[in-house]
C-alpha cells in the first residue's frame, strides 16, 4: 500500500507541470499586442504604451522564457525585486472583479465550499443507497420507480429544473429565497462583533451562537442543494445500480450465499465494495465540481460562488480570471484523482499490485 501511494505521489508534480504548461499555452493563442491588454488597468495614455508593456512583461520572448516568468515571477527593473508568478500567488488582475484574480478566488471560494459541504453528503449517500436498493430489488416495483426517477432526473436540463423549483418554492410559496444571505443577515455578519472564522456563513453563525443567521444561510442554500442533489442522484443511482447488478451476478456471490452468510453480510462485504469502484471515480469528480462551483445552478439562484464568477469573467472576456479558475480546477481534479486512486487500493487490493 505504501509503495502504491508513493508512486502516485511521485506522479503528482509531473501531472501538475503538464497542466500548467497547457494552461499557459492557451494564452499564446493571442498575439503579444492582444496579451498586453490583459495587463492594462486603464486605456493607454501615449503612443508607445503597448510596446512598453510588451517589453516590460517580455510578451515577445520565447515560450519557455515566458512560461518560467509566468510560473516564478519576474524581476522588476525599477526596484530589482521579484514580482508576480503563479507560485507566488499572483494570477494577474481581474477586470471583471476589479481586483487581483487570487482575491476573486479567495472571495468566492468559501461560498462554493459551503454549498459543496451541505450537498456532498446527501448526493453521495442517498445516490448510492438508491442504486443499491434498486439493484437488490431488481425488476420489482422499487427498481422500476427508481429507474423512472433517474430517467426523469437525467433528462431534465439543469436550468429547467432550477427555474422550476425557484418558481414553486420562492415565487409562489416564498419559502426559500435566492442569493446567499438576506439583507439583514448580510449586515449582521459584517458587524464588528461578528467574528469570521471560516468565511462559511453557517459555520461562523454557529461559532458565534447566531442561530437566526444559521437558518437564514441554510434557507438560501436549500434550493441549490435540491437542484444539485436531484441531478446527481439520477447519475449515481444509474451507475450504482448497474455496478451492483454486475457484482450480484458474480460467482463469489453464489459462494458467499452457499456458506450460509446472512444476505446483509453478503451485500455489504462482498457485493458493495466491488460495485463501488466505478462509483468512487464519479463521486470524486462530483465533489470537485461542487467545490469549483456549478455555473448554471449558481447563476440561476444568484449564489455568489466560483461558478457564477467564472461565468461573469467569460462573458466579459476576462482571460486572466478564467485561466485562474481553470488552474484551480485542474489542481483540484489532480488531487481528487490521487485520492480516488488511494480509495481504489482500499476497495480492491488488486489495484495495489498494478
- The per-residue pLDDT string of the chain (354 residues; one tens digit each, 9 = 90 and over) reads 677 777 777 888 888 888 888 888 887 777 777 677 666 655 555 556 677 777 777 777 788 888 888 887 777 666 666 666 788 777 777 777 778 888 888 888 888 888 888 888 888 888 888 888 888 888 888 888 888 888 887 777 778 888 888 888 888 888 888 888 888 888 988 888 888 888 898 899 999 888 999 999 999 999 988 888 888 888 888 888 888 888 778 777 778 778 777 877 878 777 777 777 777 777 777 777 777 767 888 888 888 888 888 888 888 777 778 888 888 888 888 888 788 777 777 766 665 555
Lookup result for grid cell 494570477: 91
| pTM as predicted | 0.78
Specify the pairing of strand 93-94 against strand 99-100: antiparallel
Hey, what domains does the chain have and what are their CATH numbers? 2-93 (no CATH), 99-353 (1.10.3720.10)
Residue 176 and residue 170 in contact, taking contact as beta carbons nearer than 8 Å: yes
Angle between helices 272-292 and 306-315 (to 10 degrees): 50
C-alpha neighbours within 13 Å on the C-beta side of residue 150:
23
Q: ∠ CA 287-291-296 to the nearest 5 degrees?
A: 100
C-alpha cell at 159: 436550468
DSSP-based three-state secondary structure for 74: strand
DSSP-based three-state secondary structure for 348: coil
C-alpha cell at 314: 467569460
- Compute the distance between CA of residue 140 and CA of residue 294 in angstroms, rounded to an integer: 35
Contacts 24+ apart (CB under 8 A), 19-28: 19/327, 19/330, 19/331, 19/334, 20/67, 20/71, 20/86, 20/327, 21/67, 23/323, 23/326, 23/327, 23/330, 24/66, 24/67, 24/70, 24/71, 25/63, 26/323, 26/326, 27/319, 27/323, 28/63, 28/66
- Compute the distance between CA of residue 177 and CA of residue 223 in angstroms, rounded to an integer: 8
Amino acid at each position: 500500500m505504501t509503495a502504491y501511494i508513493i508512486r502516485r505521489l511521485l506522479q503528482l508534480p509531473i501531472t501538475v507541470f503538464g497542466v500548467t504548461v497547457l494552461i499557459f499555452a492557451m494564452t499564446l493563442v493571442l498575439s503579444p499586442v492582444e496579451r498586453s491588454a490583459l495587463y492594462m488597468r486603464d486605456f493607454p495614455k501615449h503612443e508607445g504604451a503597448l510596446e512598453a508593456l510588451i517589453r516590460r512583461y517580455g510578451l515577445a520572448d520565447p515560450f519557455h522564457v515566458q512560461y518560467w516568468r509566468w510560473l516564478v515571477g519576474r524581476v522588476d527593473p525599477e526596484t530589482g525585486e521579484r514580482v508576480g508568478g503563479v507560485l507566488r500567488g499572483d494570477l494577474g488582475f481581474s477586470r471583471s472583479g476589479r481586483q487581483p484574480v487570487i482575491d476573486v478566488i479567495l472571495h468566492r471560494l468559501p461560498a462554493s465550499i459551503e454549498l459543496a459541504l451541505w450537498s456532498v453528503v446527501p448526493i453521495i449517500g442517498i445516490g448510492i443507497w438508491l442504486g443499491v436498493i434498486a439493484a437488490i430489488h431488481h425488476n420489482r416495483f422499487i427498481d422500476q420507480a427508481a429507474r423512472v426517477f433517474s430517467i426523469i432526473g437525467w433528462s431534465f436540463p439543469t436550468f429547467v429544473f432550477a427555474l422550476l423549483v425557484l418558481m414553486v418554492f420562492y415565487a409562489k410559496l416564498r419559502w426559500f429565497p435566492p442569493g446567499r444571505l438576506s439583507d439583514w443577515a448580510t449586515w449582521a455578519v459584517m458587524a464588528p462583533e461578528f467574528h469570521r472564522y471560516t468565511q462559511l456563513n453557517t459555520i461562523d453563525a454557529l461559532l458565534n451562537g447566531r442561530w437566526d443567521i444559521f437558518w437564514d444561510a441554510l434557507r438560501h442554500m436549500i434550493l441549490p442543494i435540491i437542484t444539485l442533489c436531484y441531478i446527481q442522484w439520477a447519475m449515481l443511482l444509474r451507475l450504482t445500480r448497474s455496478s451492483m447488478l454486475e457484482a450480484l451476478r458474480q460467482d463469489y456471490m453464489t459462494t458467499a450465499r452457499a456458506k450460509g452468510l446472512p444476505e446483509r453480510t453478503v451485500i455489504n462485504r462482498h457485493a458493495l465494495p466491488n460495485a463501488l469502484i466505478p462509483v468512487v471515480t464519479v463521486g470524486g469528480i462530483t465533489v470537485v465540481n461542487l467545490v469549483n462551483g456549478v455555473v448554471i445552478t449558481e447563476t440561476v439562484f444568484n449564489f455568489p460562488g466560483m461558478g457564477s464568477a467564472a461565468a461573469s469573467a467569460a462573458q466579459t472576456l476576462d482571460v486572466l480570471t478564467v485561466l485562474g479558475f481553470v488552474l484551480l480546477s485542474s489542481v483540484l481534479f489532480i488531487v481528487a484523482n490521487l485520492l480516488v486512486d488511494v480509495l481504489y487500493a482500499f476497495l480492491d487490493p488488486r489495484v495495489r499490485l498494478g
